[in-house]
Amino acid sequence: MSWAEHLAQLDFFVKSPVLLGHAALPQMRARRYGRIIQIDSEVAHRPPPGRTSRTP
């Protein structure tokens, strides 16, 4: 995995929940209630072959 690909994955997995929270927050505030539950992927902990940032 190239450094650019690694950064793209990091960008996606960090930005996605933040952007979702920003989109949901106004309605949650208006209702004075809400919950955000983030579930990540096991792939982040055990990537499939060829999808790791470590070099052999």
At 20-46, the pLDDT tens digits run 999 999 999 999 999 988 877 656 556
Cβ neighbors of 10 (< 8 A, separation 6 or more) are none
Q: Would the pLDDT of 48 be above 80?
A: no
pLDDT for residue 53 is more than 60: no
Query: Would you mind telling me the total number of residues written for the chain in this entry?
Result: 56
Output the pLDDT for position 26: 96
Mean pLDDT of the chain: 80
Read off the pTM. 0.54
* pLDDT bucket at 16, cuts 50 / 70 / 90: confident
